[in-house]
Amino acid sequence: MSSLPGSREPLLRVAVTGGTHGNEMCGVYLARNWLQDPGELRRPSFSAMPVLANPAATAVCRRYIDRDLNRTLTLTFLGSKATPDDLYEVKRARELNQLLGPKGTGQAFDFILDLHNTTANTGVCLISEASQSSFNLHLCHYLQLQNPGLPCRLLQFEPHEAETYSVDSVSKNGISLELGPQPQGVLRADLFSLMRALVAAILDFIELFNQDKDFPAFEMDIYKILGKVDFPRTTDGDLAGTVHPQLQDHDFEPLRPGEPIFKLFNGEDVLYEGDSTVYPVFVNEAAYYEKHVAFLKSEKIHVSVPALPGLTPSSTQTP
């Protein structure tokens, strides 16, 4: 697999959104902190705008009020006629579209970095749409080079629905940063500091990109979402078991056919029956119980990523 670089326009209108889910505390408190003092988000060529994406959910420390905001930024919702009965997150999606979009237009922000936490043991995980991979792959590679010893993975997805829906889909390019494990409603100092440092590094990368720096070609492993696996359930739809101890906390590690994935409440093991090795991600994420997701299956792919040449005279002369 390879990705062609897009046109090299500088990213001048950049937003960092936290609190898209109101109980994912690193982004909530980073956004609040930057709204008071945005100095950390300034770079020579741009100043990133901090946004507290879901203030009502944040105020009550819940993921959302009426529906998941990060599934609501579709053109269908954004283009629908506003009514007084609209769900809170539908109203808020329209406000964000006003602020950072309009989605799909030339007026939209150049880049949104959306901050998340998960209860799963993902470590540092960037989530990117497959269509936006070239810039985002270079971004991930930059973070890997800056943080040797810290696993930093890129998880790629293609929206199943016809249209994109996430907060970072409003801008021309965007990415989500996931950091875990952290319980909902808890702010861990170690993850707060790590996310703050990662955001700084991402803004540094954007600055280097804006300065027309050459980013050479490289190879890396990425993870591509294949599908979801639900919990074992009773005929009533209730849980009949939970994630197996051998799978719990093992995000991004290989799961081979025949290995256990669930421990039923009656003590029996449920084994993985797929044909090939997969890489589970978001294993036992609290927010995904209601989405009927015990974990996502991904495949590991080795990709060769072409250079992002700078717009210097020498590089533009290269055939």
- Residues binding a copy of itself (CB under 8 A): 29, 32-33, 61-62, 119, 181-190, 192-193, 238-239, 241-245, 248, 263, 265, 284-287, 289-290
CB of 258 to a copy of itself, least distance (A): 18
Long-range pairs for 260-267 at CB < 8 Å and ≥24 separation?
261/229, 261/294, 261/295, 262/231, 262/232, 262/294, 264/232, 264/240, 265/239, 265/240, 265/241, 266/240, 266/241
CB of 36 to a copy of itself, least distance (A): 9
Nearer to a copy of itself, 40 or 86 (CB): 40
Nearer to a copy of itself, 31 or 208 (CB): 31
Q: Dihedrals φ, ψ of 137, to 5°?
A: -65, -40
Burial degree of 238 (CB within 10 A; 0-12, 13-18, 19+): exposed
Nearer to a copy of itself, 235 or 318 (CB): 235
CB of 191 to a copy of itself, least distance (A): 10
3-class SS at 6?
coil
CB of 42 to a copy of itself, least distance (A): 17
Nearer to a copy of itself, 62 or 71 (CB): 62
CA dist list (Å): 181 to 85, 124, 146, 316: 36, 10, 21, 44
Nearer to a copy of itself, 110 or 251 (CB): 251
Nearer to a copy of itself, 29 or 218 (CB): 29
CA angle 311/315/319 to nearest 5° reads 125
CB of 22 to a copy of itself, least distance (A): 13
CB of 286 to a copy of itself, least distance (A): 3
Bridge partner residues of 9 (DSSP): none
